[in-house]
Amino acid sequence: LPDVFGDSEAFDQWFNNQDADQDTVVQQLHRVLRPFLLRRVKSDVEKSLLPKKEINLYVGMSEMQIKWYRNIIEKDIDAVNGAGGKKESKTRLLNIVMQLRKCCNHPYLFDGAEPGPPYTTDEHLVYNAAKMTMLDKLLKKMQAQGSRVLIFSQMSRVLDILEDYSVMRGYQYCRIDGSTAHEDRIAAIDEYNKPESEKFLFLLTTRAGGLGINLTSADIVVLFDSDWNPQADLQAMDRAHRIGQTKQVVVFRFVTEKAIEEKVLERAAQKLRLDQLVIQQGRTQQQAKQAASKDELLGMIQHGAENIFNDSKEGGAFSKDGELTETDFDDILRQGEEKTKQMNAKYEKLGLDDLQKFSTESASAYEWNGESFINRKKDIGINWINPAKRERKEQSYSMDKYYRNALMTGGPRPDPKPKVPRAPKQQAMHDYQFFDSRLGFLQDKETAWFRKENNLKAPLADGEEDTLEQRTADQELEQQAIDEAEPLTEKEQAEKEKLTNEGFGEWNKRDFQQFVNGSAKYGRNNYDTIALEVDSKDANEIKKYAKVFWKKYQQIQNWEKHIAAIEEGEQRQRRVVQQRDMLRRKMRMYRVPLQQLKLNYTVSTTNKKVYTEEEDRFLLVMLDKYGLDSEGLYEKIRDEIRESPLFRFDWFFLSRTPQELSRRCATLITTVTREFEGGPPAKENKRGAEDAEEEEEEEEKPAAKKGRSSTGTAKNKTVNGVKGTPNGTSRAASEDTTASGGAAKSRARGRKSGGK
């Protein structure tokens, strides 16, 4: 309206007067808007519409809720106590608030809270949450009086729990949440509103189901939890309280007493009162729209937390036996009406100035009794809420006990069946434990007598259908043995104990395998070193077991495999000892082996040779230094090559891997062994050595092509150097000699041409 409001500065000055009373500013705004704005409410339009009745029902918490509420606060006790400092993230506090609100609704919203698996739809859905106990009583009463109920919740997962509850109680229901398709929404509303509909409940989420829906066929509204924005709750109530409603609408709002939900409700009531005072959005309205500050969130979280820690047995609305009686239910209804009236009267008296200065009962987490403790925080410390006293629980690792506790669903337990006496404990007999076969006979006899004495039938063994006839025959034979069973005599009992002690019952499969591996690695008689391989046995136990093992090893299944592994390992040990002695003898033949040692290369080795004699001498010296059976031998040799100044510029030798060094060392050890054994080696050994040399040549070919001439001349020079030079030359020295020789020849040719 530019012709009416022509001067914006005058308009702003009129309503932006900081010195004026806020109520006066609102009254001026109302006078300006009255000619242009017509506001009508339902009570003015529809006189027959009865006013709705709101009742806040204050409930406590179940024992499970108290446990989870306390755990959530203890997890972030520093943030709850305000000890996080000024930089404490507000997001962290918002997350704590959300977890506490989930706990107030139902503890099954947390993973691991619901007993199971298997997960059952049972009474534990009701008695583990105080709101569900209250809802259960309320719905029974409402159904008896012929009412129909709308249930609103902020969380769709709460609707999942309510669905299970409705199925358990046999209530017909419809559901709408944010994921419901448009067609399904229309179908559910029509189904609920049609005449003579059997649908008793309508489950909705506050935000998704609170707008644009006509559900006047219901007269009871249950707000399972409150929204931060009171307008969302008002819209939810008005789904039933609208034109067309013929009954009085009663709204029950569930509030968890002495918990964070009380503070959420107070803040919502404050916003609602501000909205009643100011209908036009503007500067004043912005303060009503502000989100909760960090201190306000802290105050909400701390509300009731100390009671949770100090009195963990408090059950709120529950009686001592954990159930909500009819008397308790009527008392809660009466007290809820009184508290609702008191809260409404409290906020009706507050003006705009009071509401803008009022947030919660304690505006700051550091103010109490009118005194600010923010500056004394460092002196007195932060000790507002102490965690609950820790209780040490007995830890059991029994699988039977674990599954027995995991499968408890909380329902009534059936009468215990008469207990069958415990069967006699029998020794498990494995072949590697070397028990006498007589022990198995005595144990079978004792078990058969136990079954006969307790009237237990022989079980049918599991198996395929085509073996049923054979398994049935075996069952009949076993049953015949049970029918003819007799108890063990005292002599047989003593014999059984003696045979049990003679075996190796304390040896398991892992111990046996480690024994076999240790025997193959160190030899069958090295008990002390074998004991290093077997974790749980000492040398005396190894010796005792080894004596029986080598007498009775044929009793073990697949004993040939184990014996072959041990003998192969011992043969390998003997070969290593022999090679080590020959290498030591070779080293003793020279005063300085690194410079003087000579190798008698075979023709095949010489033709395929890519290592220099100096490199081979170094490898043999290192093998003698560390030993052929040393751990990580070839990694050590590789490190020695890289640290030695002899090969600083020998890129070929420096780039060899431990695997390549291993193959070259095997070839050199074979060469030394042939030298001392005398004569040609055995046929299979010669073939094996040639195969190793061929593998070595295949891997070294790329390096030889890159670093050496592949011509026949270069190969003959190498052979001549090996055979004619006593000490050999390094590759770098050979290259220097060749270069200097070439330069001399060119100078001679130059002098000759000059003379001419």
User: Is residue 252 classed as helix, strand or coil in its secondary structure?
Assistant: strand
Structure tokens at 247: 């009954």
The pLDDT value given to residue 686: 43
The pLDDT value given to residue 330: 76
Architecture per CATH, 509-570: Orthogonal Bundle (1.10)
* Count of helix runs (H) and strand runs (E) in the chain: 35, 8
Helix, strand, coil shares, percent, the chain, to 5: 60, 5, 35
Give the tens place of pLDDT for each residue, 352-409.
Answer: 566 555 544 444 444 433 444 445 444 444 445 555 556 666 666 677 777 777 666 5
Provide long-range contacts, Cβ within 8 A and 24+ apart, for 394-403.
none
Give the tens place of pLDDT for each residue, 624-653.
Answer: 899 888 888 999 999 999 999 999 999 999
The pLDDT value given to residue 476: 83
Q: How far apart are CA 119 and CA 123, in angstroms?
A: 12
Residue 444: phi and psi, rounded to 5, are: -65, -40
User: Tell me: domain 632-744, CATH 1.10.10, correct?
Assistant: yes
Q: Residues in the chain, how many?
A: 756
Do 509-570 and 632-744 come out as alike in CATH topology?
yes
Structure tokens at 683: 């046929």
The pLDDT value given to residue 684: 39
The pLDDT value given to residue 640: 93
Domain ranges of the chain: 8-38, 53-380, 431-502, 509-570, 632-744
Between the CA of residue 390 and those of 311, 315, 386, what are the distances in Å?
A: 14, 20, 11
Structure tokens at 679: 């004569």
Q: How far apart are CA 624 and CA 619, in angstroms?
A: 9
CATH number of 53-380: 3.40.50.300
The pLDDT value given to residue 40: 66
CA angle 195, 197, 198 (to 5 degrees): 160
Per-block mean pLDDT, blocks of 10 residues, the chain (756 long): 68 66 72 71 71 89 89 74 59 84 92 84 90 92 92 93 93 91 91 91 84 86 90 88 87 90 84 68 42 62 59 44 62 82 75 55 42 46 54 67 66 56 77 85 83 79 81 83 83 86 86 89 86 86 89 87 88 86 90 88 68 91 88 92 92 92 90 75 43 50 43 36 38 39 40 40
DSSP annotation of 256 reads E
Architecture per CATH, 431-502: Orthogonal Bundle (1.10)
The pLDDT value given to residue 723: 35
The pLDDT value given to residue 366: 42
Give the tens place of pLDDT for each residue, 154-170.
Answer: 999 999 999 999 999 99
Residue 149: in which H helix or E strand, if any? Answer: strand 149-153
Closest C-alpha among 163, 114, 117, 137 to residue 57: 137
Question: What pTM, to 2 d.p., does this model score?
Answer: 0.45
Alpha helices in 589-730 (DSSP H): 593-596, 603-607, 613-626, 633-643, 651-654, 658-677, 683-707, 712-724
